[in-house]
Amino acid sequence: MSSSLLRSGGGVAPRRSPARTWGVVILVLAAIGMVIGVVGVVAFRRTRIKGSNPQDRIASICRLADTRPSGAGNRLAQAALEESDASVRSAALVGLARFPDPKYRDTVRRCTDDAASQVRAAAAATLGRYGDEEAARRLGELVTGDSDRNVRIATVIGLGRCAAPEALVWLLEAAEKDPDATVQFEAVKVLYWKLGMRYIGEKMSKGPKWKMQVAFVVEYLKEYPQIQEAYRRSGRELVRHPEHQLDDHTVH
């Protein structure tokens, strides 16, 4: 190699030692790890449910549901299963209604079996957001089988949210057969809404007049093709009671 070539800086660049190369790689990986760690800490703090009492923790859950930072859905799902206070678990399930991601379905479904009625109610209302036949069937089990009136009312709300045709079946069953007039009234109103109408008929009462009115309304709704198709698809028999339409009622 000529002296002029050496003086001009030409020629082959000196090789970097393997030790030095690995040292650079390790430094880069360490830097990436630190960044990930910082991001993880920030995310954890942003989604942490704060408070030493149920009221403060519920307020924290409401903020998570409103602001929806990354990881909020996971934290709410965890709270729905693990919080010791039923009111906090219930609030977490209400918040989860804003995150209808399939990965939270199992959590919401499990909470429909919670020992606390307010948790079952919140889970039922949220389960309707999933809008499929599986959700409708579970809601049907609740609206016909749960002993708590408030759970059944919340289940009617869930069925109103549920887009599956089978939801109409369980709403009609509740309107026709539930032993509580409040549940019947809510089911009638939701049925009208799902069929594109608004119920403005007889106000709810606990007397025979209301029972006659709701029986007449239910028979009227059975004439709708959407109701008949929903029963056909579900495999359930749509039982008619024409005698309930013999009285002179005004249906709006």
158-196 confidence digits (pLDDT tens): 999 999 999 999 999 999 999 999 999 999 999 999 999
- How far is Cα 66 from Cα 68, in angstroms, rounded to an integer? 6
Banded model confidence at residue 201, pLDDT cuts 50, 70, 90:
confident
pLDDT at 14: 56
H or E element, residue 30? helix 18-47
- Taking the CA atoms of 203, 206, 207 and 211 in sequence, report the sign of the dihedral they define: positive
Banded model confidence at residue 210, pLDDT cuts 50, 70, 90:
confident
pLDDT at 245: 73
Helix/strand/coil for 197: coil
Query: Are 111 and 78 spatial neighbours (Cβ–Cβ below 8 Å)?
Result: no
Alpha carbon distances (Å) from 150 to 12, 63, 100, 122, 205: 82, 26, 23, 10, 17
Nearest to 143 by CA among 180, 115, 197, 195: 180
69-105 confidence digits (pLDDT tens): 999 999 999 999 999 999 999 999 999 999 989 999 9
What is the total residue count of the chain? 252
31-82 confidence digits (pLDDT tens): 444 444 433 333 444 679 999 899 999 999 999 999 999 999 999 999 999 9
pTM beyond cutoff 0.85: no
Contacts of residues 96-102 at CB distance under 8 Å and 24 or more positions apart, as own/partner, are 96/126, 97/125, 97/126, 97/129, 98/65, 98/68, 99/68, 99/72, 99/73, 100/129, 100/130, 101/73, 102/130
132: tokens are 């499929």
Number of DSSP helices (H) and strands (E) in the chain, helices first? 13, 0
15-29 confidence digits (pLDDT tens): 556 556 565 555 555
